[in-house]
Amino acid sequence: MRKLYIISFIFFPLFCFTQNDHYTIVDQYAKELESTIIDLRRSFHQFPELSNREFDTSKKIADIMTKMGFQVETGIAITGVVAVLDTGRPGPTVALRADIDGLPIIEDTGLPFASKAIGEYLGEEVGVMHACGHDAHIAMLIGAANIIKRMSSTLNGKIVFVFQPAEEGPPPGEEGGAALMIKEGLIEKYGIDVFFGQHIRSNYELGTIRYKVGGIMAAANKLTIKVKGEQTHGSRPWNGVDPIVVSSQIVMGLQTIVSRQMDITNEPVVISVGKINGGIRNNIIPEEVEMVGTIRTFDTLMLNDIKEKIRRTAINIAKSAGAEVEVLIEDGYPVTENDALLTRAMLPSLYASIGENNVIVSRASTGAEDFSFYAQKVPSLYYLLGAMPKGTSIFEASKHHSPGFYIDEAALIYGVKSLTNLAIDYLNSNPK
């Protein structure tokens, strides 16, 4: 029988504080809540749910936030939860975001709270795991909400706590995630002025935060290439057109776009083919092969150039072999852009949360994030929170989106403090 972690929050008396000493109060509250936040993270880790299917997860979040006294709205973007703290005093509106979905992965960590959940993805039964830290994101945002609630008598404006589903992408044929929340009017309805978000990282040192002005995470576009040949017997390939060989040549040709045709001293570029499907048995050359991949970029002009080069490369390689090709490039997540003025203004909040020497300028990550959609609408700051156990080599660190994904839970207190300090400092420093 799986252990169910029961979470309860203890409320402590409010302290009167000034702008000069609120970091001390936040630090004290965070330490008092640390074990509760860890238990909360484990309870979500044990029972993950896939994108747009986070029904139990969202109910648990809504129940917790309601009991803490927030105005709570559910069913946003299918399974999203939004909780609001309105101080009743004029001021800006700050949004803090956590993503809540898991991934179709069978967990292999051996942890006592490891997931044994089963879900359905693309018509197949799959294991489900929080293999990217979204369980930690939920717990840290709830912890920050708890502290902000206790300190609300000294704040101005509003705080919107956004628990967002489907960050990993909704199932094919469905809408979801940040894009759907925006489409349903999240920003206008609550009058959101700025967004803050964070992502825990298993391969960054514990006790560090990484940030970058401008593009911190890449744009992601889905690439589909269908190669149509002429089916024939595998023993007589000259009687047909082999789409498998053509597809292999296209895969290699795509890599020369990156290595020989793009100025990667400007911004990084990645083209990866992650799926190839074609053929039914060993002695039949099939009629068609489909390849599916991803394009990662940080610059719109470079992306437009890459799209044209991909089409040209695929078409010409196919034509040289007598095959036909269809290239489809779909819009995905845009670049996650940190607003320059906001990012620099909020650095003291991060310094206070984790120590100035532990706040590090990051290189851009070729990972992608749908937090980017919020950043297109309002000034935003998104940063990366280190959670690699001390003494672990970066080469030994667990990988995101893998069965062995593991984080040091000592990182959670830093995430709670940073979200809390960002919200409080922005509200107190930006009268509306």
**Would you please indicate which residues are annotated as catalytic (active-site) residues?**
333, 409
In this structure, are residues 158 and 89 in contact, taking their beta carbons and an 8 Å threshold? no
Angle at 267 (CA atoms; ends 308, 98), nearest 5 degrees: 100
Return the C-alpha torsion angle 120, 126, 132, 133, nearest 10.
80
Number of Cα atoms under 13 Å in the Cβ half of residue 248: 3
Report the sign of the C-alpha dihedral through residues 117, 120, 121, 124, in that order. positive
Query: 117: Cβ–Cβ under 8 A, 6 or more apart, which residues?
Result: 47, 48, 49, 102, 127, 128, 129
Backbone phi, psi, residue 9, to 5°: -100, 135
Identify the three-state secondary structure at position 184.
Answer: coil
In this structure, are residues 404 and 109 in contact, taking their beta carbons and an 8 Å threshold? yes
In terms of phi and psi (left: phi > 0; alpha: psi -120 to 50; beta: otherwise), the region of 204 is: beta
Q: Residue 411 to residues 41, 55, 71, 76, 351: CA-CA distances in angstroms? A: 12, 27, 28, 29, 15
DSSP summary character for residue 259: I
Q: Where are the beta strands (DSSP E) in 207-307?
A: 209-211, 214-217, 219-228, 232-233, 270-277, 284-285, 288-297
Identify the three-state secondary structure at position 65.
Answer: helix
Q: How far apart are CA 356 and CA 352, in angstroms?
A: 7
Q: How far apart are CA 116 and CA 106, in angstroms?
A: 8
In this structure, are residues 371 and 215 in contact, taking their beta carbons and an 8 Å threshold? no
